Amino acid sequence: MESPQPEETLYERAEHAARFIRARLGVEAPRTALVLGSGLGAFADELEDAQQFSYEEIPGFARPTVEGHAGRLVVGSVEGHHVAVMQGRFHFYEGYRLDEVTFPVRTLGLLGVRSLVLTNAAGGLNNSFTQGSLVVISDHLNLMGVNPLIGRNDPRFGVRFPDLTEVYDHEFQDIAVREAQGMSLELRRGIYAALTGPSYETPAEIRMLRLLGADAVGMSTVPEAIVARQMGMRVLGLSCITNMAAGVTDQPINHEEVIETGERVHATFAGLLRRIIPKL
């Protein structure tokens, strides 16, 4: 009787996915990657010399179930710079475990990515933000009640207790603000609060988040940022304020509005990314 085969570790699964992508590319893997949030995925369609991979093709990748997340990895060029772009992400609220949610970031890190741009659609808490504003994330509040590093640590990914003093790279933040100024675009800095969702927050919860110092709120990004930092990647976070949070205005909130606002600011968002990417 054959002894059972040992189950692959998370590291081995991510390594397998990275090998699959590298073999399919046939060229050197990119050092810069982006994750595009709700309604922001159109940027991936503008890459030059693009190669596309459905998430279903890539070993270990889950499948997004939310409108506005196409579920493709696109590798191509932006202003002559080789990049990998995740056209959509998976979320904890879809029923995926955090090791599944962050698996693409693990894979990108093993592929050789050293600079990661995380984007999202977010609700605005700060009264100086308006619908359609772009915000560079300066720090975050992890209010999801869980951490992607819980469980057995594999030192090949990084240390057991990573330092999060500077999750979002200060130099990258300065680059983003400076490039926005070159477009006559005001890019504010703000603290992003992550909750699980999928329900939107109540007005009482929004008042709590404001007291805690949050400027924007969403349901993603933070687990990916934590994993990226454990692996030594430098992270830039960008939020598109697609709606004002509950109680900030009298308007009800819906996902259609999130998608519509993301599409409306696409040209500005894409223009900013085109200026930022060569500087990372």
Spell out the per-residue pLDDT of the chain, length 280, in tens. 454 456 789 999 999 999 999 999 987 889 999 999 877 788 999 999 999 999 999 999 998 887 656 789 999 999 899 999 999 898 999 999 999 999 999 999 999 999 999 999 899 999 899 888 999 999 999 999 999 999 999 999 999 999 999 999 999 999 999 999 999 999 999 999 999 999 999 999 999 999 999 999 999 999 999 999 999 999 999 999 988 766 566 666 666 766 677 677 888 999 999 999 999 9
Residue 111 maps to a domain: yes
Nearest to 120 by CA among 191, 189, 37: 37
* 81 given a catalytic annotation: no
Residue 103 maps to a domain: yes
Alpha helices in the chain (DSSP H): 10-25, 98-101, 103-111, 170-182, 203-212, 222-230, 255-264, 266-276
Range of the domain at 165: 10-279
* CATH number for 185: 3.40.50.1580
Catalytic pick among 62, 70, 86, 121: 121
Residue 5 maps to a domain: no
Residue 1 maps to a domain: no
Catalytic pick among 94, 179, 205, 224: 94
Residue 3 maps to a domain: no
Catalytic pick among 219, 231, 233, 244: 219
Q: What is the pTM of this model?
A: 0.93
* 93 given a catalytic annotation: yes
Cα torsion angle, 192, 193, 199, 202, sign: negative
* 16 given a catalytic annotation: no
* 243 given a catalytic annotation: yes
Residue 224 maps to a domain: yes
Residue 228 maps to a domain: yes
Residue 2 maps to a domain: no
Total number of domains constituting the chain? 1
Helix, strand, or coil (residue 121): strand
Helix, strand, or coil (residue 45): helix
